[in-house]
Amino acid sequence: DAKTTQPNSMESNEEEPVHLPCNHSTISGTDYIHWYRQLPSQGPEYVIHGLTSNVNNRMASLAIAEDRKSSTLILHRATLRDAAVYYCILTETSYDKVIFGPGTSLSVIP
């Protein structure tokens, strides 16, 4: 499985944008980039996913580098409820197992 690397932790001020980076230099041409997040004492929740083009949804934006070796999850205005561990994961098909790395622990400062 292609692996991803993320910073262990990041901080953001409330109401400011947050850019969470993910490196996946060994990504294959058919791997999708998924982002999930886990709030304290809850199961993970889906945030966004993409293949080549940048993606936007109500929660976040996903910016994918042209060579696809990295991507960035963008939270446009961080709120206290966005404090969570964010996981960047690669999967080829829906049938693939979702394997979690350490993720990035995001703290949001009021």
Partner 1 sequence: GAVVSQHPSRVICKSGTSVKIECRSLDFQATTMFWYRQFPKQSLMLMATSNEGSKATYEQGVEKDKFLINHASLTLSTLTVTSAHPEDSSFYICSARDDRGGWDNQPQHFGDGTRLSIL
Interacting residue ranges for partner 1, rule: CB under 8 A: 32, 34, 36, 38, 41-46, 49, 51, 85, 87, 91-95, 97-103
Query: In the numeric block, which tokens belong to residue 102?
Result: 């350490």
Kindly state the smallest distance separating residue 99's Cβ from partner 1, in Å: 6
Distance from C-alpha of 25 to C-alpha of 86, rounded to nearest angstrom: 19
Q: Which is nearer to partner 1, 17 or 101 (CB)?
A: 101
Q: Which is nearer to partner 1, 80 or 99 (CB)?
A: 99
Q: DSSP for 32-84?
A: EEEEEEE-TTS--EEEEEESSS-EE-SS-EEEE-TTSSEEEEEESS--GGG-E
Q: Which is nearer to partner 1, 53 or 110 (CB)?
A: 53
Kindly state the smallest distance separating residue 16's Cβ from partner 1, in Å: 26
Kindly state the smallest distance separating residue 15's Cβ from partner 1, in Å: 26
